[in-house]
Amino acid sequence: MKKRNWAHRFLIDPMVGIGVGIVWGFFKILPLKWATKIAGILGLLIAPCMVVRNKIAYQNLTIAFPDKTKAEKKEIIKKMWIHFAKFFAEMPHTREWNEGAEIEGKDYLQSLKDDDRGGFVCSAHFGNWEFASTYTAQHYFQLHPVYRPANNPWLEKLMFSKRAGVHIPKGSGGARIMLDLLKNGEHIAILCDQRLREGIAVPFFGKMAMTPSAMVSIALKMRLPIVMGCARRLPDGRFKMTVEPLPLSKAEDNEMAVYETVANMNKVLERWISETPEQWMWIHRRFDKSEYK
């Protein structure tokens, strides 16, 4: 967690934390259907105000979908804000997420549960990734998330501290924790779609992008399985969770095996994103900084 100056610690962080807590409390007392409906309207109102993030999203969409028109890309960005506003409103309603949910690939989760080994579940900032994690923990096995703590400790306590499992910090500090859990047959959850300096450069939508690779290196070395999972929102508000195995490279050269497996991972993410692009978080600089001018 980044060191906070006095203004953030005593003014900005508490104000943001209290404000988010009030809004979240409002959504919590509402029925889920009304919470997401109101949040969708708020997302529509907020979208034009996010000028810097919208510019990044537009540049990312231009890389990923060069054939889409300007109007189509702007429509995706607008729907993205609506989607993630609904995601925020859904967070206090975890007990209701399972109602009517469709699950594709249950056998892969069951095999991970029954094989008496540890393993990885890889997802992305796509759809409702908290649903995917919660459902798996409720019905199959506990997931221990690798994550970056929020800079604002108020938000950290409000939104993330109640997550189940061992919280594994990103970076070298969490490596030992992760290895110990895997050796004990536990399962690790990782969001693997953001730019990471410690990763490797692998194609993503036709451009080389730094991509997390530590999970793949460990899985290949320890002979552990990796499954990819996402939970996308359906038009009627229910969720469809999709789980599929990640093909692991059989190359004898370790570096090549890692590269090919990470490339397979990005191909899965590309397919998901291409099917419902408005449900992916386009607002981060995913590619080399030279792409953002």
Residue 190, in any domain of the structure: yes
Model pLDDT, residue 160: 67
Tokens 């408005």 locate to 278
pLDDT in tens, 13-53: 889 889 988 998 999 999 999 999 999 999 999 999 999 99
CB 84 within 8 A of CB 111: no
Which residue from 281, 237, 289, 288 is spatially nearest to 123, judged by alpha carbons? 281
Residue 1, in any domain of the structure: no
Tokens 């990103």 locate to 170
Residue 50, in any domain of the structure: yes
Whole-prediction pTM: 0.91
**Is residue 1 scored above 50 in pLDDT?**
no
Total number of domains constituting the chain: 1
Tokens 């990005």 locate to 266
The pLDDT confidence band at residue 77, using thresholds 50, 70 and 90, is very high
CA-only gyration radius of the chain, Å: 19
Rounded average pLDDT over 59-75: 97
Distance from C-alpha of 188 to C-alpha of 178, rounded to nearest angstrom: 7
pLDDT in tens, 119-172: 999 999 999 998 888 889 889 999 999 987 777 878 777 766 666 778 888 776
Model pLDDT, residue 44: 96
End-to-end CA distance of the chain: 28
pLDDT in tens, 176-208: 899 999 999 999 999 999 887 788 999 999 999
Residue 287, in any domain of the structure: yes
- Note down the domain range covering 78: 6-291
Residue 139, in any domain of the structure: yes
What are the start-end ranges of the H helices in 121-277? 129-139, 153-155, 175-183, 214-222, 254-275
Residue 260, in any domain of the structure: yes
Residue 52, in any domain of the structure: yes
Residue 58, in any domain of the structure: yes
